[in-house]
Amino acid sequence: MSEPRRLAVCIRHAGNDLVAAECANLTGGAPDEHGLALCDDLSLVARSAYVRTGADVIASAETLDALVEGVCAADFDATAFRIECVRTTDRFDISSLDAIIAVADGMRGFFPDLDDPEHRFLLAIRDDGFWFGEIVTEFTRAYRRHHDKPFQTSNALPPRLARALVNIVSPPARVILDPCCGSGSIPMEAADMALTAIARDRSAVAVGKARGNLAHFGHAVDVEQADARHSLPRADAVITDLPYGIQLDYAENEAREILASCAQAAPVGVFVTKDDITPMLVDAGWTDVETFRHRKWTRYTKGFERTVHRARSGVVGPP
Ligand SMILES: C[S@@+](CC[C@H](N)C(=O)[O-])C[C@H]1O[C@@H](n2cnc3c(N)ncnc32)[C@H](O)[C@@H]1O
């Protein structure tokens, strides 16, 4: 089996391709369909929208017996421990609980404390075998407090989705421009992650709401009233929730002009719409377009689906 590395655990992501894209960009590892990723870097898990936890791998093996041997041989502190199990296969004829007990029995000299653990461990049971590691980081869910922004709008993006949009291009992007910022959901997440955010909207009402919301949370962001079809400030990435496809009366030609203007402003773009607008993006000067579905299930609806596009500007090169 390969050398011990790191494990990231994402939320389950049926209908939400953004989860995998965020995990890959933040950790360097793409999750399997159950949300488990072998990866290189856990340093950005805390700011994630969808990557729940990260663990440093202590031992891995193709069989449970070999794993227990590896755990016995490894040198680590496990005072007052708890083991959590993520199982993504039925390949092995052992219950998750029995597997946990087998590993715990191998941690000689240490005793579990399920209610108040000092050390939390992850046992992952995958098709390729057993992985055991210490949980060293978790997402903070800092985006949650943004639900209570003082100025709400009916078409605002959910904070968690806004955060994931930023995290699929940052790193490396550090300066984020939202040219159609509405009430400010995207700049709010970018600023909260200590990135530089620039916000524009052609509506004076939207600019007032964005300013009020950002100030409420103490985020210093440059917010100005401007039409995104005309000159936009330069940024590392443009991230925006386009009026097109959501506001049905919005002229498609205006959306095309916004996309062309954005292609002049940043080398990378993330655009949210209801339907796939890849041909429009290509016409407007964007290349290498990738699309990710995002489905939001609610208590009242079967799910509202958005399409997230990530693309490279064919006009502006990397900084
Ligand atoms: C779907 S809303 C954005 C919602 C925002 N993401 C939020 O969470 O509140 C689209 C915004 O685009 C703005 N908009 C429409 N056409 C524009 C243009 N030509 N230039 C700048 N903003 C524009 C609208 O005023 C509206 O606030």
Q: Which residue has the tokens 């922004």?
A: 149
- Per-position b or e across 14-33, b if 16+ CB within 10 A of its CB: eebbbbbbbbbbbbbbebee
**Atom in ligand 1 nearest the alpha carbon of residue 229:** 19
Same domain, 123 and 257: no
DSSP 40: S
Same domain, 168 and 250: yes
CATH number of the domain that 238 lies in? 3.40.50.150
Do 186 and 216 meet the contact criterion of CB atoms below 8 Å apart? Answer: no
CATH number of the domain that 88 lies in? 3.30.2130.30
Amino acid at 28: G
**Domain range for 202:** 143-313
CA–CA distance, 123 with 110 (Å, rounded to integer): 17
Tell me whether residue 10 is in a domain: yes
pLDDT given at position 245: 62
Tell me whether residue 318 is in a domain: no
CA–CA distance, 57 with 6 (Å, rounded to integer): 5
Instruction: Classify residue 144 as exposed, middle or buried by CB count within 10 Å of its CB (0-12, 13-18, 19+).
Output: exposed
| C-alpha 144 to ligand 1 mean position (Å) | 22
Pick from 46, 7, 63, 48: nearest CA to 30: 7
Determine phi and psi for 279, rounding to 5 degrees.
-60, -40
| C-alpha 158 to ligand 1 mean position (Å) | 15
Same domain, 148 and 239: yes
Same domain, 219 and 124: no
State how many domains the chain has. 2
CA–CA distance, 14 with 34 (Å, rounded to integer): 9
| Domain boundary, last residue among 90, 115, 138 | 138
Per-residue pLDDT of the chain (319 residues; tens, 9 = 90+): 456 489 999 998 777 899 999 999 999 999 988 899 999 999 999 999 999 999 999 999 999 999 999 999 999 999 999 999 999 999 999 999 999 999 999 998 899 999 999 999 999 999 999 999 999 999 999 999 999 999 999 889 999 999 999 999 999 999 999 999 999 999 999 999 999 999 999 999 999 999 999 999 999 999 999 999 998 999 999 999 998 665 555 678 899 999 999 999 999 999 999 889 999 999 999 999 999 999 876 655 566 789 999 999 998 866 6
Residue 173 Cα to chain centre, angstroms: 14
CA–CA distance, 117 with 123 (Å, rounded to integer): 15
With a 6 Å cutoff on the Cβ, whether 152 touches ligand 1 is: no
Same domain, 243 and 129: no
pLDDT given at position 304: 76
| Domain boundary, last residue among 109, 138, 167 | 138
Tell me whether residue 1 is in a domain: no
pLDDT given at position 244: 67
Do 25 and 164 meet the contact criterion of CB atoms below 8 Å apart? Answer: no
Same domain, 131 and 197: no
pLDDT given at position 303: 65
3-state secondary structure of 259: helix
pLDDT given at position 284: 96
With a 6 Å cutoff on the Cβ, whether 170 touches ligand 1 is: no
Nearest protein Cα to ligand 1, atom 1: 243
| C-alpha 180 to ligand 1 mean position (Å) | 4
Nearest protein Cα to ligand 1, atom 5: 182
pLDDT given at position 24: 97
| C-alpha 16 to ligand 1 mean position (Å) | 24
Per-position DSSP letters for 212-256, written without gaps between them = HHHHHTT---EEEE--TTS-----SEEEEE-STTTSTTS-HHHHH
Do 182 and 241 meet the contact criterion of CB atoms below 8 Å apart? Answer: yes
